[in-house]
Amino acid sequence: MTEAPRAIHPRPRSVRDLLLAPATRGVLLATSRDPDAKLTFIVTPPPGTYPNGPVAIKIPATPVAASAIRSETRMLLDLREVPMGSMAQTVPQYVDTLDSDGLPALVSTALRGTPMSIGYHHWLHTARPHLVATDFALAAGWLRRFQMATAGERGRIEWAAEVGDQLRHRWPGHPHLAAALVRLTSADHQLGVQEVARTMVHGDYWFGNLLLTDGVISGVVDWEAGAHSGWPLRDLVRFALSYCLYLDRHTRPGHRVLRHRGLRRIGFGPGITYGLLGDGWLPDLVRYYLRDGLVSLGLPPDLWYSAALTGLGEVAALANDDDFGSNHLDLLAGLPLWPTDHHGQGAGR
């Protein structure tokens, strides 16, 4: 018996070669908006073109998006060098760079899982303490292992000072800049006297970039904003802030958010003020998560509020979208310099 000869597929050089090959099977997963417009496909390439299974292909539509894709490529290459043990399976492996009308498209291994954002937006998901606690525990657990695997040199935490500079640069003349900077200066006084080991940073560690399978994190995607060496507090805080930001998403304007006493959909991001300073199971959980994450990094838990202020400033400084950034600046400028006493600095864990 002789086997039918297998078709030899040449390695693709362009996105067109890959997507239009007759043997390619795939789906368009996501599109994102200007100026950072990208398309993400998951495709099963023709046999023999790439070593292992389905791949994700991220295609830039603009030069700005292309530079984000170049950064992500560098980050995936850096990640390849890190001995991460079983965690390596949760990070996309770099496979190839293809031409897309003169811009680079990134091909990486496709990871299994459903974004945490799908569950988050299920009706009443964020009204249920055990579901929310699980989300926070998963995010915290992955991050802790990642930070342990990538910890490098220790240094004084200059994060708040850096964010202050970034804010000045991004928002000169903004009516709330001065108030925001006062908060960052206060945060810098707290953070700047502490040392921490720098780690790799994901840079956009929000629940839409975490993939879940059977109740565990099976993938962490979207490394565009990653850093080889940075402040581990960035990812810790970003997850909490972004989780709180959308709590009011399914509530009509002006109305109370179900099962969150004290949270109404008024203005931009009321969930963030609530999550940091409110009373209730969710704010307690958010503060616990932040304190616990700091302790894991060898830092005093009381720094949680300074870290949160700095994280808000960072979103204001780095957001792709001007309105999103400016709204975070306003939010930061409107927060108290210190958390209210009973959530306070000395409250321990």
Ligand X SMILES: Nc1ncnc2c1ncn2[C@@H]1O[C@H](COP(=O)(O)OP(=O)(O)O)[C@@H](O)[C@H]1O
Binding site for Mg ion (CB under 5 A): 209, 222
Give least dist CB 220 to Mg ion, A: 10
Instruction: Give the distance from CA 266 to its chain's centroid.
Output: 25
Q: How far is the CB of 317 from ligand X (least distance, A)?
A: 19
56 binds, among Mg ion, ligand X, none (CB under 5 to 8 A by kind): ligand X
The listed partner (ligand X, Mg ion, none) that binds 273, CB under 5 to 8 Å by sort, is none
Judged by CB under 6 A, the number of residues near ligand X is: 19
Which of Mg ion, ligand X, none binds 131 (CB below 5-8 Å, type-dependent)?
none
Kindly tell me which of 33 and 261 has the beta carbon lying closer to Mg ion: 33
Q: Does 29 bind ligand X (CB under 6 A)?
A: yes
In 40-69, which positions are buried (b, 16+ CB within 10 angstroms) versus exposed (e)?
Answer: bbbbebbeebbeeebbbbbbbbeeebbebb
Contact between 109 and 92 under an 8 Å Cβ cutoff? The reply is: yes
When the beta carbons of 209 and 306 are compared against ligand X, the nearer one is 209
Q: In the numeric block, which tokens belong to residue 267?
A: 């203005």
Contacts of ligand X in 195-224 (CB under 6 A):
208-209, 219, 221-222, 224
Name all contacts of 37-44 with Cβ < 8 Å and 24+ positions apart.
37/61, 37/62, 37/65, 38/65, 38/68, 38/69, 42/110, 43/18, 43/19
Q: Least distance (Å) from ligand X to the CB of residue 135?
A: 16
CB 104 within 8 A of CB 70: yes
For residue 201, the cross-strand partners are 227
Q: Which is nearer to ligand X, 43 or 333 (CB)?
A: 43
Residue 111 found at the interface with ligand X (CB under 6 A): yes
The distance of closest approach from Cβ of residue 210 to ligand X in the complex, given in angstroms and rounded to an integer, is 9
Characterize the bridge pairing of strands 94-100 and 103-109: antiparallel
Which residue lies nearer to Mg ion by CB, 106 or 184?
106
Q: State which residue, 222 or 330, has the beta carbon closest to Mg ion.
A: 222
State both tokens at 58. 């991220």
Both structure tokens of 85: 């043990």
Residue with Cβ nearer ligand X (29 or 318): 29
Residue 35: is the preceding peptide bond cis (ω within 30°)?
yes
Inter-residue contact 275 to 305 (CB < 8 Å): no
Backbone angles phi, psi at 14, to 5 degrees: -125, 165
When CB distances are held under 5 to 8 angstroms depending on the partner's kind, the choice from Mg ion, ligand X, none that residue 111 binds is: ligand X
Answer with the entry of Mg ion, ligand X, none that 320 interacts with (C-beta below 5 to 8 A by kind): none
21 is a site residue for ligand X (CB under 6 A): no
Q: Which residue is nearest to ligand X (CB)?
A: 222
Residue 58 or 234: the one with the smaller Cβ distance to ligand X is 58
Report the distance separating Cα 236 and Cα 311, nearest Å.
9
Q: Which residue sits closest to Mg ion, CB atoms considered?
A: 222
Bridge partner residues of 40 (DSSP): 30, 58
**Which positions from 54 to 73 touch ligand X by CB under 6 A, shown as an x/- string?**
--x-x---------------
Contacts with ligand X, residue ranges (CB under 6 A): 29-30, 32, 38, 40, 42, 56, 58, 92, 108, 110-111, 115, 208-209, 219, 221-222, 224
